């Protein structure tokens, strides 16, 4: 194993709080295993692998946006619009009976649409100086309105078998959506933990003012972060549409709340500057185990929704009590105006150290 590979693997080392999630996962697994023998069946594990990928990808986006001290509420609308663009290219090109070029064209179109949506989010936040929660709430409605108006609210069918494999295929018994989720988490973990962009995003999230005085191009960094969010949202939309064999403007509307629960439970600080990709993956798996266990025990979907809300309230409440979460900062914080000052004040040095150690 090369030194470069070892360096990248060190970027994925988990935070101490993530070990608590490991214990929680073991407790949940033990309780559900004792409660229903079907929980440990290969079929149930495979089913969980298919289901966790979509919400897991959305949770990674929420974690990245929270790392910037913001949030992206438009993720589902971006995903659906990207999936619709992909499906429409398939329909126009006749990709069902076509060759690989039509398949590649559809996928690239979807990725381009998702990236463009991320650019819109970044522009509204940095250029119009709108707080991220309000900006992405507005673009959520915008993108959803475009999708509904484009298709009159109807689903689009006609996807090639090679594309549908992304959502329903397996590799050695492992669901392909889970492999997509794992690959996205691995790449995002390296980006956040080892790349210059990841360092700048952590600095920006820890303290935007100090980052600006340190000479970081705050606007460019934030736009790039939301570009990545849009790109991952497009991937999530394709996985969702490949699983359902169609694209629709209304798919996955309940995923936003669940993605926030997973991101916060996984160790992401809503105030910015700290996240754990490994923790987000573990949190997604834990909640998926709970959902599958509830289903096997015959509990209703409403019961699981109550559990989701209770978990979110508990985690956010504990964060607020401990002082890690400032709601006024989260809801009303605008993006600071650009400045040409590059002198680093003494307080910014401390923030630089916080950003450097945030992923440890």
How would you write the pLDDT of the chain (360 residues) with one tens digit per residue? 454 444 444 444 455 567 777 888 898 899 999 988 899 999 999 999 999 999 999 999 999 999 999 999 999 999 999 999 999 999 888 776 667 888 899 999 999 999 999 999 999 999 999 999 999 999 999 999 999 999 998 999 989 999 999 999 999 999 999 999 999 999 999 999 889 999 999 999 888 888 888 888 989 999 999 999 999 999 999 999 999 999 999 898 889 988 998 998 888 888 888 889 999 999 999 999 988 998 888 888 788 778 777 776 776 676 666 555 554 555 555 555 444 333 334 444 444 444 444 444
CA separation for the pair 293, 303 (Å, rounded): 12
pLDDT at 216: 85
pLDDT at 328: 52
CA separation for the pair 252, 266 (Å, rounded): 21
pLDDT at 326: 53
pLDDT at 206: 86
* Domains within the chain, CATH numbers bracketed: 42-325+337-357 (1.10.3470)
Nearest to 12 by CA among 277, 251, 221: 277
Q: Could you tell me which residues come within 8 angstroms of residue 297 by beta carbon, excluding any fewer than 6 positions away? A: 35, 36
The length of the chain is 360
Q: pTM, whole model, 2 decimals?
A: 0.83
pLDDT at 109: 96
CA separation for the pair 117, 32 (Å, rounded): 40
Tokens of 34: 């004792």
pLDDT at 329: 53
pLDDT at 359: 44
pLDDT at 55: 94
pLDDT at 310: 77
């Amino acid at each position: 194993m090369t030194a470069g590979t070892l360096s990248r693997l060190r970027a994925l080392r988990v935070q101490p709080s993530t070990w608590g999630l490991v214990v929680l996962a073991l407790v949940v697994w033990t309780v559900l295993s004792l409660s229903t023998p079907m929980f440990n069946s290969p079929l149930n594990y495979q089913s969980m692998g298919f289901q966790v990928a979509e919400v897991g990808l959305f949770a990674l986006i929420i974690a990245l946006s929270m790392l910037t001290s913001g949030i992206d509420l438009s993720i589902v609308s971006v995903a659906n619009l990207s999936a619709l663009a992909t499906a429409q290219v398939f329909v126009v090109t006749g990709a069902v009976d076509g060759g690989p070029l039509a398949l590649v064209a559809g996928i690239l179109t979807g990725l381009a649409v998702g990236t463009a949506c991320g650019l819109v989010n970044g522009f509204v936040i940095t250029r119009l100086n709108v707080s991220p929660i309000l900006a992405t709430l507005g673009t959520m409605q915008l993108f959803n309105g475009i999708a509904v108006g484009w298709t009159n609210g109807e689903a689009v069918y006609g996807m090639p078998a090679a594309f549908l494999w992304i959502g329903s295929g397996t590799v050695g018994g492992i669901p392909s959506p889970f492999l997509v989720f794992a690959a996205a988490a691995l790449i995002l973990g390296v980006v956040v933990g080892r790349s210059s962009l990841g360092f700048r995003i952590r600095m920006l999230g820890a303290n935007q003012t100090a980052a600006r005085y340190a000479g970081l191009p705050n606007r460019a960094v934030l736009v790039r972060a939301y570009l990545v969010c849009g790109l991952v949202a497009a991937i999530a939309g394709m996985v969702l549409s490949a699983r359902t064999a169609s694209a629709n403007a209304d798919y996955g509307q309940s995923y936003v709340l669940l993605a926030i629960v997973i991101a916060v439970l996984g160790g992401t600080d809503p105030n910015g500057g700290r996240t754990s990709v490994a923790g987000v993956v573990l949190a997604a798996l834990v909640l998926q185990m709970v959902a599958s266990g509830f289903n096997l025990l015959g509990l209703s979907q409403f019961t699981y929704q109550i559990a989701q809300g209770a978990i979110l309230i508990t985690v956010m409440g504990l964060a607020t009590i401990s002082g890690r979460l400032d709601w006024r900062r989260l809801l009303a914080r605008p993006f600071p105006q650009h400045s040409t000052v590059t002198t680093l004040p003494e307080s910014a040095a401390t923030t630089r150290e916080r950003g450097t150690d945030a992923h440890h």
